Amino acid sequence: MRLVAVRPCDDLKDKAQSEATALMSAHPNLRLIMAICSPAVPGAAEAVKQAGKAGRVKVIGLGLPSENRRYVKEGVTDTVILWKTEDLGYLTLEAAVAVARGTLKPGASRFVSRKLGSFEIQGDNIILGTPFAFNRDNIDQFNF
């Protein structure tokens, strides 16, 4: 795989669509568009769909299931990645309680969640870990 370009979309779906269209025109053999903000994924997917290149140009990226469901179900977008909000919320609240009770102290290197397991701490950040991949098989289970 070779990176051919990095294009900003300024968090705008229409600009992402325009940039994706330009990329496909400039690089006829383009095989993947990786979008790294929520509006960019459906924007790139719409460009691929309108160009008739679904299945030939893969679209992946960070995004909400609700904004990408249609494109994932149609096979235009392969995978959307994001942290599961339920896990992120649970971990955040559990860590806040631990801080308030004094059981999570500054300088700790690990935090053990009763529900989610053990997590590394880097500085003052608890690392949730691998993002969740929303795909055709599971995207209908999520409503955010």
102: helix, coil or strand?
Answer: coil
**So what's the pLDDT on residue 86?**
85
**So what's the pLDDT on residue 32?**
97
Q: 106: how many CB neighbours lie within 10 A of its CB? A: 7
**So what's the pLDDT on residue 129?**
83
Question: Can you tell me the distance from the alpha carbon of 72 to that of 50, in angstroms, rounded to the nearest whole number?
Answer: 15
3-state secondary structure 38-56: CCHHHHHHHHHHHCCCCCC
**So what's the pLDDT on residue 100?**
96
Q: What is the spatial order of strands in the sheet that 125-126 belongs to?
A: 110-113, 117-122, 125-126
Per CATH, the architecture of 13-83+131-141 is what?
A: 3-Layer(aba) Sandwich (3.40)
CA angle 51, 52, 57 (to 5 degrees): 85
R_g (Cα) of the chain, nearest Å? 19
> In degrees rounded to 5, what are phi and psi of residue 33?
-120, 120
Structural domain boundaries in the chain: 13-83+131-141, 85-126
Query: pLDDT under 70 in the chain at which residues?
Result: none
Assess contact for 55 and 75: CB atoms under 8 A. Answer: yes
Cα Dmax for the chain: 58
